[in-house]
Amino acid sequence: MFNDPVPTVFQEMTWEEIAAAARADTPIVIPVGATEQHGYHLPVCTDWVLPERIVREAGRRRNLIVGPFLPFGYRSRPGSGGGQHFPGTVSLRATTFMSLIEDVLSELKRCGFRNIVLYNWHLENSGFVYEPAYLVSERNPELKIVVIEDVNPEFTPQRLNAVWPQDFPGLALEHAAVIETSLWLYHEPSAVRTDRIAADSPQRVVNHDVVPIDTRMSTTSGALSSPVPASAEKGRLLTEWLVERLITIVDDEFPDRTPI
């Protein structure tokens, strides 16, 4: 589905190339993630590597800059990320996280960028991405900042059946399960410890949080539902849908396109 052009990646550019891209009003998309456990079988970099892969794929089809990823996010919750009690999860306080984004946005403005997209992968970051974007926008109304706190595509009945033909657990319980495992299997299968993939589920599923952490709301493995049905083909489909949604948003908000 993707064309041959190599995406333009911020950390691989020189300062002159960055300045030229900013002068051209090229949109820059910042993958916002977390460093968090992802079960027995996936690496802790999942929440910033996968969104960067999606943005890179979008950059093969649309003129944009793949921005510098943010590898740390807000605290993991048991019912959506497994919880803070797992080794390997390294989280920020909300105030630190928001200050980090605010500073990054301010620095991108100093570099000359006026069209910025915050592309958030980590569910617990929701709400804390919009606030710094709003604060920076208040001070710099010439900027346009698009906040995508939920990157998921629309899961139509057909798509649900293609990915979860048996039972859809809900997106909150999809942590380290079919979506992320399938994306890894498609993009970088060597990162998946396939011999460690196993079904798991919480003892307790509720729509509220409890502190101190109630570990029954998490699992022993850290995956909140079964990754067993994952496949590279599902990863290909999910990539297509995720890229399609991102490009649609960028095209809607920044319609002036430069062929690549």
Determine what percent of the chain is predicted with pLDDT higher than 70. Answer: 96
- In this prediction, residue 7 carries a pLDDT of 81
> Does residue 41 have an active-site annotation?
no
pLDDT band of 4, cuts 50, 70, 90: low
Q: Is residue 106 part of a domain?
A: yes
- In this prediction, residue 233 carries a pLDDT of 98
Q: What is the largest CA-CA distance in the chain?
A: 54
Judged against a pLDDT cut of 90, whether residue 229 lies above it is answered with yes
Q: Is residue 256 part of a domain?
A: no
Q: Is residue 134 part of a domain?
A: yes
**Catalytic, out of 41, 52, 57, 122:** 122
Structure tokens at 143: 């900027």
Tell which residue, 217, 185, 190, has the closest CA to residue 202. Answer: 217
**Catalytic, out of 47, 57, 149, 174:** 47
Number of domains in the chain: 1
> Does residue 16 have an active-site annotation?
no
pTM: 0.94
**Catalytic, out of 52, 174, 180, 200:** 180
Q: What is the mean pLDDT of the chain?
A: 95
Order of strands, sheet of 144-148, starting from the edge strand that comes earlier in the sequence: 8-9, 65-66, 28-32, 115-120, 144-148
Determine what percent of the chain is predicted with pLDDT higher than 90. Answer: 93
> Does residue 208 have an active-site annotation?
no
- In this prediction, residue 2 carries a pLDDT of 45
> Does residue 253 have an active-site annotation?
no
Q: What is the CATH number of the domain that holds 147?
A: 3.40.50.10310
**Catalytic, out of 149, 174, 175, 200:** 175
Judged against a pLDDT cut of 90, whether residue 260 lies above it is answered with no
90-116 tens-digit pLDDT? 999 999 999 999 999 999 999 999 999
Q: Is residue 3 part of a domain?
A: no
**Catalytic, out of 38, 41, 52, 149:** 38
> Does residue 47 have an active-site annotation?
yes
Torsion of CA 188, 193, 197, 203, to 10 degrees: -100
192-226 tens-digit pLDDT? 999 999 999 999 999 899 999 999 999 999 999 99
Q: Is residue 38 part of a domain?
A: yes
Kindly provide the b/e burial profile for residues 186-220, where b requires at least 16 CB atoms within 10 angstroms of the residue's own CB: bbeeeebeeeebeebebeeeeeeeeeebbeebbbe
> Does residue 38 have an active-site annotation?
yes
Judged against a pLDDT cut of 60, whether residue 3 lies above it is answered with no
**Catalytic, out of 52, 57, 124, 174:** 124
> Does residue 131 have an active-site annotation?
no
Q: Which domain holds residue 183?
A: 8-251
